[in-house]
Structure formats: C-alpha cells, structure tokens
Structure 1
Amino acid sequence: MKIRTRLTLLISGITAAILLLLVIVIYISYARDREEDYYKNLHRQAITKANLLLDAHIDPQVLQLIYRNSSGNLAQEEIAIYDTTFQLLYHDAADIDKVKETPAMLENILENEEIFFNQGHLQVVGFSYRHQGKNYLITAVAEDEYGYARLRYLAWILGFSWLGALICIIIAAYFFARLALRPVSQMVDRVEEITATNLDKRVPEGNGKDEMAELAVTFNAMLDRLEQSFDAQKQFVSNISHELRTPLTAMMAELEISASRERPADEYLQSMQHAIADARQLVRLSNSLLDLAKASYDPAEIRFKPLRLDEVLMEGREEVLKAFPFYRINVNFEEGEDAPDYLSIEGNEYLLKVAFVNLMENGCKFSDNHEMQVVVTWFKGHTILRFSDHGVGIVKKDLPNIFTPFYRGANGQYADGTGIGLPLASRIIRLHKGKISVVSREGQGTTFTVEFAFN
C-alpha cells in the first residue's frame, strides 16, 4: 500500500471516528433530554387531571369519556389515582390499563414519593400527591410519539450528515496527501533519471525548511559523496593503469631484448637485475595500493582498540631500518614533570604503522644523508608528532597536491616513488580523526606535523 493511500485512510479514519463520537454524543444527549422533558410533561398532565377530579369535581365518567374519544394511539396519557390504602379512585381506562399498578409498585411510590421507568416505548411516572390534607398516589403512562419521531429524524439527519462528511473527508484527505507527498513524487521522478553517467544531477530541495527539504538536502549530500567517490575511482583506475604500465613495459622490454639473440652471461645477469628491480617496484606499488584500499574503508568496518603511539612508532622505525639499513631515524620524546599519558589513543595498529613508515621513509629518501628526526610531544590535549628532514624540500606549487594519489612533484627526480605514500598516510591519520600538515622550503627540508587527541 502506498503512503498516499495509507495517509488518506489514516486521516479519514481518525476524522470519521471523531465525528462519529460527536454524533453519538449529540444523539444520546438529545434522547436523554427528550425523556426527561416527557416525564415532566406526564407529571404535569397527571396533576391537571387530578385537580379536575378533586377540585372541579368533574364526573369521572365525563373524564373517561373525554379520554376514550381522544384515544386510539399510545400518545394519550393514561392517568390512575389511588388513595394511600391502594384503593383505586379513578382510572382513565381500566379495561385498557397500559401499565399494571401492582401493590409493590404503589408501595414503592409511597416510600420514594416519585418513580420513573420505561415499559417498552411507554414512559411511566408515579408520584405521591397531597391535596386538601390527603395523600393520593397517581400514575401516568404514555408514549412520546412526537418525541420519538423527532429523535428518529435527528438520527437520520446525523447519519446522513456523517456519511456526507465522511465522503468529503476522504476526498479532502486524498488531495491533502497528494499535495503533501508531491515533493516526494518529484524526488522519485528525478532519482529515476540519475544514473552512474549523470551523477551531477540533484533532486529539488523545495523551500529548504520542512522535513521533505531536509530529506532532499541529505540525499543531495549523499549524491555529492557518491560523485566524488566515482570521480576518485575513475582517477584511481586511470592512475593505476598508468603506474602499472611503466614497470611492466620496462620489464617486457628487458626480457624481449634479452631473448632477441644470444648474449654473454654478464648481459643476461644485468637484464635479470633490471627485471627484478621492476618487479620489486610492482610489489611496492601493489602493497601500497592494498594499504590505500584498507585506509579507504568505512571507519565502522575497521577495528580500533587502545594502543600506545610510542610502541607503534618504534615498530615502524625498526621496519624501515630493516629494509634500509643505511637510513638514520632519530626519535625524541618530550615530557614535562606534569606530562599526561599523551601516548595512548584509540586506533588501528597496522594502519598507523603504515602511515608512520611512509612518513619516515619519505623523510629519509629525500635527504642527502638519509637522515631525519621524529619529535613526539603534547599540547592542550593533543599528541603532536613532527617528522622533519633537511632534504631537498618540496616546490611551493606542489604543496597543495602532495596528498593526491599518484601525484609526483618536481622532487621526484631525486628518488623513486609511487605517489601513494603521503596520500595513504593522510587518509589513515584522518581516519583516526587526526590532522596532518606540512611546512617545507626548497633546498632546506620538510616537516610533517601530525596531531591526535589523546585519551
């Protein structure tokens, strides 16, 4: 069932129930008022006839004759008068006797002064009446035909009014639901037009204030992220193709040249060494791509746990020195007398080590003496790591792009690389809610500053 239909039924059902409750209350209130008014009317008619009999001394036969000539329907009041010994003094029509006055009933009237009850459609009132020092028991019974007719008429009016209102409510609810959900329909139509080839399209945001506009804004923000992700993926695939092609082409060229004719053993050895160097470059590139993919995961998919930055940093230093024994990496920890435990954070040990290794390798690689310094300190709740070298530095125009995957700056002529290390380190640090910044002067060196909020 569509939301429009469900909303129409919900609004119609609630409104119809409220109106039905109102109709029932009106009907019941009118029915009670009619009943009370008719009881009072019976009481007045009974007193009037008793006065005619007792005060005016009209012959009972005359009163009975009047009653019989005007009877023929239940609307005629039937009056009976008894004394306190339950002896019948007068009865409009004892042979008809719409209600039987039993001794128990008369006793009840004598005790309670006045009683009211219904007998089918008949209404009965009995009361004690004092006249000229004597007490009399009077009963009156009749059917309020006119009152019941008006009550039935009211029931028809209320019933048809409720049905007419219900039809109007359903129509109004349908158009209201349609109007309220029109932005959703427009959004659905626009979303159906959006594909992987035109992610630049956006859904209309309406007035920018209500919940529909908020949904549209959120959806457009998601499309922005998807578009950026698709563009990055396209660029990533393009760069991978380019980076893999270079070592593979070089390797195939070396092997084809070696296989073209017989050569001395030293030339074969030299060709194999070149092929091995290209293969190592492919391995480094593959490992870097794998680490870059891991760093691009949703943070919810990566396991974080409490760890110490000093331990991760020293493990990364050992890994770099094991691969490049001629590198020199000096690590200094600055601690004051009141220094907090600024080395503990929540993070992923493997990814952080990859980031630190890349920053240390980068510093040593672009230094003539292959030496760099790492200083670890803290300030205002943040752990700060500075990776400094005195190498060739970074050209000013390259600084905005150093964290772009596969970007190689002007200093690429000094050392081999894939253009993945710094972007990978940046992603890992941002994944840990940290910050990374760089300061560099050409020919003087570079300093990368990393900040983490410690526990």
Structure 2
Amino acid sequence: MKVRTRLTLLFTLVTAMLMIFYGIVVYYSSKEAREVSFYAELKSEAVAKANLFFQGELTESEMHKLYKNNTQTLNEVQVAVYDSGFNLIYHDDARVDFVKEDKNMLSRIFKNKQISFFLDDLQVIGMVYSHDGKQYAITAAAYDQYGYNSVKHLLMISIISFITILVLIYCAGLFLSKKALNPAVEMVDQIKKITAGKLQLRLDYSETKGEFYALEESFNQMLERLDNSFNAQKHFVSNISHELNTPLASMTTELELALQKEYTAEEYQKVIQHTLEDAQNMSKLSSSLMDLAKASYDPAEISFSEIRIDEVLLDSYAKVRKENLHYKISLTIDDEIEEQHLIRTGNSYLLMVAFNNLIDNACKYSSDQTCTIRVYLISGHVSIEFTNKGIPIAQEDLQHIFKPFYRSETSLNQKGYGIGLHLTDKIITLHHALIAVSAEENTTTFQLVWK
C-alpha cells in the first residue's frame, strides 16, 4: 500500500472515531434532554388539568370530551386524580387506563411528593397536588411521539452526515497527501535517472526548507561521497594496474631473454636476481595494498583493544632496524610522560604499520638515512615527531602528500608506490589522532598528536 493511501486511511479512521464519539455524545445528550423535557411537560399538563378540574368551571364530561378530541390529533396526556384515601376522583379515560395505579404506587407518590418512571414506551410522572388544605395524588402518562421522532430524525441525519463527511474527508485526504508528497514523487523520478555512469547528477532542492529539503540535501551529499569514491576507485585501479604492470613486464622481459639464448651461470644468476627483486617489489606492493584495505574497513569491523603507544612504537623501531641494518634510528621519550598518557584504544597491527611507514620514509629520504623520533606532551596530549634531514618536501607537494599514489619529484629516484603516507593518514585518523607535516630548509618533520 502506498504511503499516500495509508496516510489518507489513517487520517480518515481517526476522523471517523472522533465523529463517532461526538455523535454518541450528541445522541445520548439529546435523548436525555428529550426525556427530561417531556417529564416537565407531563408535570405541567397534570397541574393544568388539576386546576381545570378543581378550580375551573368545566364539568367532568366536558373534560372527557376535551381529552377525546385531543387524542384524535395528538397523543394527549392521560391524567388521573386520587384523594388521600386512594379513591379515584377523576380520570381522563378510566376504560383505557395506561398506568393502572395501585396503593403501593399512590403511597410512594404521597411519600416522595414526586416520582417519574417509564411504563413500556410511556413516560409517567406522579406528584402531590394541594387544594383547599387537602392533598391529592395526580398521575400523568403519555407517549412522546414528537420527541422520539425528533431523536430518530437526528440519528438518521447524523448517520447520513457521517458517511458523507467521511467520503469527503477521504477524497480531500487523497488530494492533500498527493500535494504534500509531490516532492517525494519528483525525487523518485530524479533518482531513477541517476546511474553508475551519471553520479554527477543531483536532486533539485525544494523551495521551502522542510523535511524534504533536508532529505534532498542528505541524498545529494551521499551522491557526492559516492561520486568521489567511484572516482577514487577508478584512479586506484588505474594506478594499481600501472604499478603491477611495471614489475611484471620487467620479469617477463628478463625471462624471455633468458629463453632466447644460452647464458653463463653468472648471467643466469643475474637474471634470477633481477626477477627476484621484481617479485619482492610485487610482494611489498601487495602487502601495502592489503594494509590499505584493512585501514579502509568500517571502524566497527576493526578489532580495537587497550594498547600502549610507546610499546607499539618500540616494536616498530625494532622491526625496521632488523629489516634495514643500515638505518640509523634514535628514539627519545620525555620524562614528563606518564603511563596514563600512553594508554589508548586501538589496533596494534595497523598502528605499527603507520609507525613503520613513517620511520622507513624518514630514513629513506634522509641524506644519511637517519630518523629521529621524539615522544613528548603538548598541551596535555601525547605527540610523536619523526624528523629527518635531507632534501625537504616542496611546499607545493605538502598539500598532496597524503593522497594515494602521489609522489613528488624529489621522491622519484627512490623505490615506492605512493601508498605508505596515504595508508598512514587513514590509520592515524582511525585512532582519533591528527597527523601533520612540515618542511623547513633541510629538515622534514611528521607530527602525530592524540586527541
């Protein structure tokens, strides 16, 4: 079921319930008011006939004639008068006695002064009437045909009005919901036009800044992220293809030449050595890509635990020194740093990959393959600096240094793929830390600050 139809039905249902409640209140209020009003009429009629009987000049036969004439055109009130001894002294029509008064009823009238009750469809009232110092019991009974007809007419009008109003409300609800949801329909039409090859398209914004405007804005922002992601992915695949093609082409060439003619043992060893170096380069590239993939996971899917930054840094220091014996690495941890400053929540493997990249990068681009590491506090936050001396990074390259596969002109003579610093930036961001780079004269410094 469409949202438009569901909203209309819900609105119609709520309106119907309110109207039913209102109708029930009105109907029973009208019914109660008719009952009270007719009892008042009965009392008035009983007093009027008693006055005519006791004080008027009409004889009993004339009153009977008046009663019979009235009953031909309307439901006349039937009145009976009894004395204190329970003797009937007047009745409009004793042959057709509706009430059939007995001693118990008359005793209740004299005791309570006034009673009222229903006798089938008839309403009956009994009251005490005083005349010349004597008390009489008067009963009056009649069928309120006009009142009942009015209530029935009100009920019929209410039912017809209820059905008519519900139909009108349903139609109005469809119209208004269509108008209210029209921006959503237009959004759906525009979304259908957006495909993988047309991610540059955007939704048009609504004129009023309401819920749909916020939805359109969020959707456009999502499209912007997807577009950037697709472009980055295309760029990534293109660069990967290029980087993998270089060692593969070199290996293929070396092996083809080795097959075309015979070499000496030394020449074969050289071919094998070159092929091995290309294979090792491919292995390093593959490892870098795997680490980059891990760093690109949803943070919720990465295993985090309590770690000590200094211990991870020492493990990284030892690993790089073991793999590169010619690197010169010095590590200094300020005395003011306490244990609580170094304990963080993170992934030790990824963090060590980031430290390895920074140490290796500093030594590789240093004039004497030296990296100086300093751990200290800055405004109460742990900071780690990786410094090397050599040809500094050009200022125009600093803003691109963390982009994937980006390599500055000064780094082209060194082996690499432009993945390390991009990977490091992602890992440091995952650990809620900041990374910055500065280059002055012949010194380059990478600084990490934990928030």
Give the TM-score normalised by structure 2: 0.96
Aligned to 1:64: 64
Count of aligned pairs between the two proteins = 451
Aligned to 2:152: 152
What are the equivalent positions in structure 2 for 1:281-296 lying under 5 Å apart? 281-296=281-296
Equivalent residue letter for 1:448: F
- 1:76 match: secondary structure: coil
> Which stretch of the first structure deviates more once superposed, 213-222 or 292-301?
213-222
1:74 deviates by 6.7
Aligned to 1:265: 265
| 2: CA distance, partners of 1:73 / 1:115 | 28
Picking from 444, 447, 453, the partner of 2:445 is 447
1:237 deviates by 0.4
Aligned to 1:119: 119
What are the equivalent positions in structure 2 for 1:165-244 lying under 5 Å apart? 165-207=165-207, 209-244=209-244
Equivalent residue letter for 1:69: N
- Could you tell me which runs of 5 or more consecutive residues in structure 1 were left unpaired when the two chains were aligned: none
What are the equivalent positions in structure 2 for 1:430-445 lying under 5 Å apart? 430-441=429-440, 444-445=442-443
1:296 deviates by 0.6
Contact 1:109 1:115 in 2 (8 A): yes
- 1:128 match: secondary structure: strand
- 1:18 match: secondary structure: helix
Equivalent residue letter for 1:86: F
> Which stretch of the first structure deviates more once superposed, 234-243 or 221-230?
221-230
1:382 deviates by 2.0
Equivalent residue letter for 1:4: R
Do the aligned partners of residues 26 and 267 (structure 1) sit closer, same or farther apart at CA in structure 2, a change above 3 Å counting? same
> Which stretch of the first structure deviates more once superposed, 7-16 or 113-122?
113-122
What are the equivalent positions in structure 2 for 1:405-416 lying under 5 Å apart? 405-416=404-415
1:275 deviates by 0.4
1:45 is the counterpart of 2:51? no
Equivalent residue letter for 1:275: T
1:72 deviates by 4.3
- 1:392 match: secondary structure: coil
Deviations 1:357-405 (A, max 9, x none): 0000000111132111111112234211111001222122222221111
Do the aligned partners of residues 381 and 132 (structure 1) sit closer, same or farther apart at CA in structure 2, a change above 3 Å counting? farther
| 2: CA distance, partners of 1:396 / 1:249 | 35
Equivalent residue letter for 1:452: W
Aligned to 2:381: 382
- 2:399 match: secondary structure: helix
What are the equivalent positions in structure 2 for 1:132-147 lying under 5 Å apart? 132-147=132-147
| 1: CA distance, partners of 2:321 / 2:196 | 46
Aligned to 1:86: 86
Aligned to 1:363: 362
- 1:341 match: secondary structure: helix
Aligned to 1:312: 312
- 2:252 match: secondary structure: helix
Equivalent residue letter for 2:226: L
1:204 deviates by 2.6
| 1: CA distance, partners of 2:380 / 2:35 | 82
| 2: CA distance, partners of 1:198 / 1:222 | 14
Equivalent residue letter for 1:416: K
Contact 1:406 1:419 in 2 (8 A): yes
Do the aligned partners of residues 207 and 347 (structure 1) sit closer, same or farther apart at CA in structure 2, a change above 3 Å counting? farther
| 2: CA distance, partners of 1:212 / 1:246 | 51
| 2: CA distance, partners of 1:169 / 1:102 | 57
| 1: CA distance, partners of 2:339 / 2:255 | 59
Do the aligned partners of residues 264 and 208 (structure 1) sit closer, same or farther apart at CA in structure 2, a change above 3 Å counting? farther
Contact 1:122 1:141 in 2 (8 A): yes
Contact 1:384 1:450 in 2 (8 A): yes
Contact 1:186 1:204 in 2 (8 A): no
1:340 deviates by 6.9
1:339 deviates by 5.1
Aligned to 2:28: 28
Equivalent residue letter for 1:447: T
Deviations 1:162-206 (A, max 9, x none): 222111111111111111111111111111111111111122331
Aligned to 1:253: 253
Aligned to 2:130: 130
Contact 1:74 1:143 in 2 (8 A): no
1:341 deviates by 2.2
Equivalent residue letter for 2:105: M
| 2: CA distance, partners of 1:49 / 1:161 | 42
1:352 is the counterpart of 2:351? yes
Give the TM-score normalised by structure 1: 0.95
Equivalent residue letter for 2:39: Y
- 2:341 match: secondary structure: coil
| 2: CA distance, partners of 1:298 / 1:384 | 26
Contact 1:74 1:142 in 2 (8 A): no
Deviations 1:91-118 (A, max 9, x none): 1111111222132222221221111122
Equivalent residue letter for 1:445: T
| 2: CA distance, partners of 1:70 / 1:198 | 90
> Which stretch of the first structure deviates more once superposed, 423-432 or 120-129?
120-129
| 1: CA distance, partners of 2:298 / 2:46 | 91
Deviations 1:308-360 (A, max 9, x none): 10011111111111111111211111132x85721111111111110000000
Do the aligned partners of residues 149 and 300 (structure 1) sit closer, same or farther apart at CA in structure 2, a change above 3 Å counting? same
- 1:401 match: secondary structure: coil
Contact 1:363 1:391 in 2 (8 A): no
| 2: CA distance, partners of 1:76 / 1:59 | 19
Do the aligned partners of residues 58 and 206 (structure 1) sit closer, same or farther apart at CA in structure 2, a change above 3 Å counting? same
Note the aligned Cα RMSD (angstroms): 1.6
Equivalent residue letter for 2:378: F
Contact 1:124 1:142 in 2 (8 A): yes
Equivalent residue letter for 1:392: I
Contact 1:191 1:203 in 2 (8 A): yes
